């Protein structure tokens, strides 16, 4: 049995949920999000609690049970507090700045990298070496942060590159004479 799926999702104050068929729609102070579950689970709303139950004992139903519960919990968290990823730039001359809806990155290439910020995500560069990605969709926030990081991943010898805040970079020793 799914240990995650057993726990009902308690909605924070100011957040409401409604179920129509297999679709859950969650509204909160930051916006509205919805999730369409498969036919293997049953979704019910009782006051400020959303519960997910499997239909049958098939392997697929048990797989979808925990996943669907987590998706509903992420919807509730997204519309109430939102999601945030923080990135750090380390390296000589590495810097970032916002210009309208474009993130301009200087990463040691012969040209600057212009990263277009997609709809539904807010990117800020408070300091030249820090980037913050925020939004209500956890998957989109993580994907945008990963796309920015992809331009210059941290390397193990000097630690230069774009890394997540708090990420540990395994350092290697260089050549010896």
Residue with structure tokens 């930051």?
Answer: 30
So what's the pLDDT on residue 3? Answer: 84
Q: What share of the chain is helix, strand, coil (3-state, %, to 5)?
A: 20, 40, 40
Q: Could you say which architecture CATH assigns to the domain 83-164?
A: Alpha-Beta Complex (3.90)
Q: How far apart are CA 77 and CA 35, in angstroms?
A: 13
Q: Would the CATH topology of 3-80 be identical to that of 83-164?
A: yes
Alpha-carbon gap, residue 26 to 18, rounded angstroms:
7
Q: Give the model's pLDDT for residue 106.
A: 93
How far is the C-alpha of 160 from the C-alpha of 89, rounded, in Å?
8
Q: What is the pLDDT of residue 1?
A: 64
pLDDT, one tens digit for every residue, the chain (177 residues): 668 888 898 998 889 999 998 899 999 999 999 999 888 999 999 888 999 999 988 899 888 998 999 999 999 999 999 999 999 999 899 999 999 999 999 999 999 999 999 998 999 999 999 999 999 999 999 999 999 999 999 999 998 999 999 999 999 998 888
Name which CATH class applies to 3-80.
alpha beta
For residue 128, what pLDDT is reported? 93
Q: Enumerate the domain spans of the chain.
A: 3-80, 83-164
Residue 122's nearest CA partner among 96, 88, 150, 98 is 98
The Cα–Cα gap between 156 and 126 comes to 26
Q: What is the pTM of this model?
A: 0.87
Q: Return the pLDDT at 125.
A: 93
């Amino acid at each position: 049995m799914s240990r995650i799926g057993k726990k009902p999702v308690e909605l924070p104050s100011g957040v409401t949920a409604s179920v129509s068929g297999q679709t859950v729609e969650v509204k909160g102070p930051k916006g509205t999000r919805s999730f369409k579950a498969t036919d293997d689970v049953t979704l019910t709303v009782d006051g400020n609690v959303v519960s997910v139950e499997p239909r049958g004992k098939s392997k697929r139903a048990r797989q979808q049970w925990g996943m669907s519960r987590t998706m509903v919990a992420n919807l509730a968290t997204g519309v109430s507090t939102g999601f945030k990823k923080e990135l750090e730039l380390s390296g000589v001359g590495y810097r970032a700045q916002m210009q309208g809806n474009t993130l301009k990155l200087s990463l040691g290439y012969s040209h600057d990298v212009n990263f277009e910020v997609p709809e539904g995500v807010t990117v800020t560069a408070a300091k030249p070496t820090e980037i913050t990605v925020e939004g209500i969709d956890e998957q989109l926030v993580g994907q945008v942060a990963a796309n920015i990081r992809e331009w210059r991943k941290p390397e193990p010898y000097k630690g230069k590159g774009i890394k997540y805040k708090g990420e540990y970079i395994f350092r290697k020793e260089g050549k010896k004479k």
